[in-house]
Every structure is written in C-alpha cells, then in structure tokens.
Amino acid sequence: MSVFFGTDGLRGIVGQDLNFDVAYKCGNSLSQTIKGGRVVIGRDTRTTGSYLASAISAGLMAGGVNVVDAGIVPTAAIAYLTKEKNFDFGISITASHNPSEYNGIKIFSSLGEKLGDKEEERVERGFIHSLHVCADEVGEYVFDPGLKNAYFNFLKNSISCSLAGLKIVIDASNGASYYLAPKVLRSLGAKVVLKSCSNNGRLINHECGSLHPEALAEKVKKVGANVGLCFDGDADRLIAVDENGNIVDGDKIIFALALSLKQKGELNQNIVVGTSMTNMGIEASLEKQKIKLLRADVGDKYVAGIMFSQGLSIGGEQSGHIILSKFLHTGDGILTALQLLSAMKESNQTLSQLCSVQLFPQVIKSVKVKEKLRILGSETLANAISSVQQELAGEGRVLVRASGTEPKIRIMIESVTKQKSEALASYLAMIISTLESSEEKLCAE
C-alpha cells in the first residue's frame, strides 16, 4: 500500500505533507528507471508550482534525465504530450480541486496513463536510494511553452462542427485552463464570457470552479448563455450548467455522451464505467437504453483500469472526471466540454434536453478526521452503517469511504427522498465526529 500516493497521485499541504525533499526524491526515483531519458513537466497556477517543479526537475536531472517544462497547462495536456512526443514520463504539478495551500504530483507513463498502484509503490521504494550521475551526464532543463500549441490543435480537431451560435460562460477556477479553454472555444466560433479565468494561483478553486458551480449558474442566467462550463484547478474535471441555470454533474454528462456515442455506433459493447458514487438514476436510465453500467472504485485511474482492460469507450465520475478512450487515457475537462457541445449541435438540442435524466435524491457529506482508517474500522461506525442499510431496505444505498486526497471520510446516501437522505447522512456524520472527538479527548488525557 502506498504511503505518499493516494487515489490521484501524491498530494498534501506544501511545507507539511509535501516539501522540496519529497518532490526531489520523487523525481530522482523516476530517474532510476529511465537512465538518460526524457520527462515533460507542467503545472497549474498555484504559487508553489514552480517550487515543486524545480525540486522534481533537480531530482530527475541529478539522475541524468532531461526535463522539458511546458509551463502552465492542464493535467490532460501532460498526458497527451507524454504519449504524442515520446517522453518516458509526464509529470503534472497540481492538487486538482484542492485549496491553494495544497499541491501534488501526478505521474503519467509513456502511454499517457496514470501510474497504477504497483507502479506508485515502486516509485516510493526508490525514495530510499539516490542516483547521482557524474557532472557530464547530468540532465538538461529546457522550457518549451510551444508544447501548448500541440495540445491546442489536438483539442480543436477533436470535433468537426462549428460552435458558432453558442454563448458559453467559462469558469476556469483561476487554474490551468484559464487561457486555453477560452482560446479553443473562440477558435471554434463560440461567443465566450469569462468568470474566474485569471492565472492568480492564490485564488485557485476559491469559491469558484467545479466545486462551486452555483455562481456560474447565476452568470449563465444573467447573460442569457446557452451553457456554462466549470473546470477545476487542473482542468481534468467538468461540471456544466444548462441554459436554465441548472447544474449538470458528471453523471448526467456521462449519460448524455453515452447516448450520443451509441447513436453514432461508437459505444463499445454498449457498456459505460462509473463508480460506487454513480447515481442509481443514471444506472436505471442507461438500462432503459440497453446500456450496462459497470462500477469501479472511486478514482479515475480505477475507472480507466476497467475501461482499457475491456476496450470500453467512456467512463467517469460524478465529480466530472470523464475519460473518452478514443482520445486520451485520462480525464480531460476541456475535451469533455467540446464533446458535449458537439453533441448539442449534432442533435440540435439544448443542454437541458440532452441531459434529461431523473436522479435519485443523493446527499454527500464529508467529515474531517485525523485517522481515517481507524474510524472506518470502528465497530460503532459499522453498526451505524448497518442500521442505515436496514432503514433503506433496498430503496437506496449508503457508502462510507476514506477520501483519497484529503484527511476526510465521505458519506453518500441515496434514497427515495432528499429529506431521508439528509437525515441518514447527518446521523452517520455525527457518529464519525463523535468517534473523532472521543479519540482526541483520550489523547489529551
């Protein structure tokens, strides 16, 4: 089991969980597997991005690896460039949707795929050793902002229709897509209105982006836009807003794109991959269209694992991580947005029509804790979950899990009414908070 890596790379508060030494060791460990190779690196807008990029680059170069820095680009750009430009690894410095004090490291293989659990464990084992080549073999560092153009062209060419006639509001979360997303959409003919599209890393994800689409919803209605697009800090997520100001989450986007792919004969095996969080309403609606839903563990790399082992077309998460295997092996918010807009144009439907599906009332709560695994293993919590399951009696679901990126336990309840879901989720949150506070009191004594 990985110590540093979670469900989406290595992540933590800079200066505490994640510092120069850890980043250096990560880079140097990779150098031990590709002596004399090439690595492309990119980052989001966080102020600590350059600091960590310098540390990783130093570790790589000390081991004889050449580093090419693409600058501020979405995470998916690194995945694309790694494969397209024949790099040995790609590294994105980002903490995705987390606040500005966090940062992280996502690593892609030469195929543009996120490293699996075993590969991440292998990287961690390399932290123990160091590789320092002699002076004339030290790797070189090159900054190449022109790499963005290759990714821009890839995005622009991913759809064949014009977006003329569409008015689109973009919320880039003051993150990695602040420049590229508006540029691509404008190049395809769309009229673009900007919100939270600065490169101010201190404001990344701050009351904006995919975790806070409410403000965008108001903006869409105010300016009379056809659609709103919310990205997170590294733009691997998309949450949309329809023309009426209603929020369209990842589940609904997956449903719409799955139907579009099926109509074009491009939905392999008529199967879609979701996660344990995917709403039961999506599963029921897909079944009516003779499309099967497979559920993976939470984490887009687990979704990708099932997709590529079975040769499937689409998979993703409620959070807006959506993978389209025809194009990339990882989630790409801008790419997903383009496919959604293309589906709207091709079907001559509004976003509300395209994503019309009835969801089960679902409530998600997060409780901050110090020891996730200890609390999840508690008999008290197990009994509480069992009582909730009995209360739902086959008319809903309960899921309690540890966050893979934050010190939190997440609770998800689905049932026939929002009121019931809210009450049961609050009950479990209270149990977890009580367990946390009792442990703190015990430690204090």
User: What residue type is 379 in one-letter code?
Assistant: E
Give, to the nearest 10 degrees, the angle between helix 180-187 and helix 147-156: 40
Q: List, in order, residues 6 or more apart from 272 with CB less than 8 Å away.
A: 254, 258, 286, 291, 292, 293, 294, 312, 314, 315
Half-sphere exposure (Cβ direction) of 370: Cα atoms closer than 13 Å:
8
Tell how strand 102-108 and strand 9-13 pair up.
antiparallel
Q: List, in order, residues 6 or more apart from 417 with CB less than 8 Å away.
A: 361
Q: List, in order, residues 6 or more apart from 65 with CB less than 8 Å away.
A: 27, 30, 31, 34, 35, 36, 37, 38, 39, 88, 139
Query: 321 has which bridge partners?
Result: 237
Of the residues 31, 57, 96, 109, only one is catalytic, namely: 96
Ranges of H-type helices in 273-378: 280-288, 300-310, 333-347, 351-354, 372-376
Taking residue 378's Cβ as centre, other Cβ atoms within 10 Å add up to 14
DSSP track, 87-120: -SEEEEE--TTS-TTEEEEEEE-TTS-B--HHHH
Q: Quick check: 217 and 228 in contact, CB under 8 A?
A: yes
Angle at 358 between CA 172 and CA 424, to 5 degrees: 85
Q: Is residue 96 among the annotated active site residues?
A: yes
Active site residues per annotation: 96
